[in-house]
Amino acid sequence: MRIGFGYDVHRLVEGRPLIIGGVEIPHTHGLLGHSDADVLIHAICDAILGAAGLRDIGYYFPDNDDNFKNADSKVLLARSLELVEKEGYTVDNIDTTICAERPKLNPHIESMKQTLASILKVSVKDVGIKATTNETIGFVGRCEGIVAYAVALIKKCEC
Ligand code: MG
Average pLDDT for the chain:
97
Output the CA 141–ligand 1 centroid distance in Å.
Answer: 19
Domain of 10 in residue numbering reads as: 2-156
Task: Tell me how far CA of residue 35 lies from CA of 14, 76, 82, in angstroms.
Answer: 16, 9, 19
Q: Which CATH number belongs to the domain containing residue 90 in this structure?
A: 3.30.1330.50
Give tens-digit pLDDT for 114-128: 999 999 999 999 999
Q: Quick one: average pLDDT of 82-105?
A: 98
Which pLDDT belongs to residue 159?
Answer: 64
Q: Are 108 and 128 spatial neighbours (Cβ–Cβ below 8 Å)?
A: no
**How many A from CA of 157 to the centre of ligand 1?**
28
Give the Å distance between the CA of 123 and the centre of ligand 1.
Answer: 25
Number of domains forming the structure of the chain: 1
Task: Collect residues with CB below 5 Å from ion ligand 1.
Answer: 8, 42
pLDDT tens sequence across 28-62: 999 999 999 999 999 999 999 999 999 999 999 99
Is the predicted pLDDT of residue 140 greater than 80, yes or no? yes
- pLDDT given at position 157: 87
Rounded Cα–Cα distance for residues 142 and 120 (Å): 33
Residue 45 CA to ligand 1 centre (angstroms)? 10
Which of these, 41, 81, 52, lies nearest to 155 by C-alpha position?
A: 52
